[in-house]
Amino acid sequence: MGSSGSDGSFTLTDDQQAVREAVRELALGEIAPHAADVDERERYPVEAQQALAKTGFNAVHIPEAYGGAGADAITTVIVIEEVARVCASSSLIPAVNKLGSMPLLLSASEELKARVLPEIAAGDAMISYALSEREAGSDAASMRTRARRDGDDWVLNGTKTWITNAGVSRWYTVMAVTDPDAVRPSQGISAFVVHADDEGFSVGHKERKLGIKGSPTCELHFEQCRIPGDRIIGEPGTGFATALATLDHTRPTIGAQAVGIAQGALDVAITYLKERRQFGSKLADFQALQFMVADMAMRIEAARTLTYQSAAATERGDANRTFLASAAKCLASDVAMAVTTDAVQLLGGAGYTRDFPVERMMRDAKITQIYEGTNQIQRLVMARNLLR
């Protein structure tokens, strides 16, 4: 954990710096070379998955008790940031492993954690998070997927949409309605873990997307999907609260993804400005462009600082963690969109082609303003926390 003083300042520990160096080297050597091809062919980044699993960076957040590295929240966001700097699709491997497993870490029985988490930590399996439905996006509590008791088992019926890494994940954390008569719909929702081999489970339609094309986003179908009774996460009726508490821990990871994408685009733009010449000068000599670069770097630093601060606040359980997680995700994703758009501008016509990675980074940045709650929803969450 970075030491975080009462004045809000912090420094990264030697271990956190070392992780950044190691992931940067891995990302440049084994992930970056495939990023354009992964995007072009809309294929899963197997090279990244293998490289991350081999080095244990696939799910660093899992505690040592379950075979993981037990990394703190700042270390986890650093891993995601450094991977996103070269390939946003690949950064969803560590990010979604945290998203899918956080409900278990927060609320599951010891037996269930011991059953699922070691496989994730070892890189033998991945886990996705299934909250959204076609008609229940921002209003997630209006979901229709049902789970009912049948003897000792639970039986799930319904369809989830937009599920990141569906098909490649072996485990799925699934939120479903167990009490349709609950006074508040959110209190009638429970969380479960479903395995890809469970009877009645299937992966459906794959979305055709603007960006993060290497990360499959698919529907999940549950047709009389039968799972053992002990696969419920926590008590019946607590699933929505667990799903929201999870987002406090994972919105900082989307902030990190956004910071990484933005930094990657700035890196490319700076190299280009120092090489390209027009009107007899380097582009880097034009003050109008110097000011753009300064603004881009300034915004990235602000987003990075808030992202680390929010990760640390969530891990400590600070009272303002929900506000900070939303603020970090919202600020960093808005910064990523602005910075990547400016990076395309700085490269001129070249920036608009697939010969340079900034057009991919601009397309990839857009999703960070949408998933894990749109930035409108983040602003609602922040306002609710400020005004209550």
Question: Does residue 164 sit in helix, strand or coil?
Answer: strand
State how far the alpha carbon of 1 is from the alpha carbons of 322, 330, 341, in Å: 19, 23, 33
Tell me the β-bridge partners of 163: 218
**Closest CB to ligand FAD among 2 and 137?**
137
Q: How many residues form the binding site for ligand FAD (CB under 6 A)?
A: 22
Cβ atoms of 244 and 175 within 8 Å: the answer is no
For ligand FAD, the binding residues in 193-232 under the rule CB under 6 A are 209, 212, 217
Per-residue tokens: 69: 């590295």
Phi, psi of 325 (to 5 degrees): -65, -45
372 catalytic per annotation: yes
Q: Which residue is nearest to ligand FAD (CB)?
A: 137
**Closest CB to ligand FAD among 165 and 309?**
165
35, 130, 189, 312: which one contacts ligand FAD (CB under 6 A)?
130
Q: Which of 82, 133, 315, 372 is catalytic?
A: 372
Distance from first CA to last CA of the chain, Å, rounded?
A: 31
**Closest CB to ligand FAD among 24 and 195?**
195
Q: Considering only CA atoms, which of 69, 66, 62 is closest in space to residue 16?
A: 69
For ligand FAD, the binding residues in 367-386 under the rule CB under 6 A are 367, 370-374, 376-377, 380
- Indicate whether 244 belongs to the interface with ligand FAD (CB under 6 A): no
**Closest CB to ligand FAD among 172 and 308?**
172
Cβ atoms of 97 and 58 within 8 Å: the answer is yes
DSSP 89-152: HHHHHHHHHHHHHHHHHHH--HHHHHHHHHHHHHTS--EEEE--BTTBSSSGGG---EEEEETT
* 281 to 320: interface string for ligand FAD, x by CB under 6 A: ----------------------------------------
Supply the minimum distance, in Å, between the C-beta of residue 374 and ligand FAD. Answer: 3
3, 138, 320, 353: which one contacts ligand FAD (CB under 6 A)?
138
* 142 to 171: interface string for ligand FAD, x by CB under 6 A: --------------------xxx-------
Q: How far apart are CA 376 and CA 372, in angstroms?
A: 11
Strand 127-130, strand 153-164: pairing: unpaired
Supply the minimum distance, in Å, between the C-beta of residue 21 and ligand FAD. Answer: 30
Q: Give catalytic residue positions.
A: 372
Q: Which residues bind ligand FAD (CB under 6 A)?
A: 128-132, 137-138, 162-164, 209, 212, 217, 367, 370-374, 376-377, 380
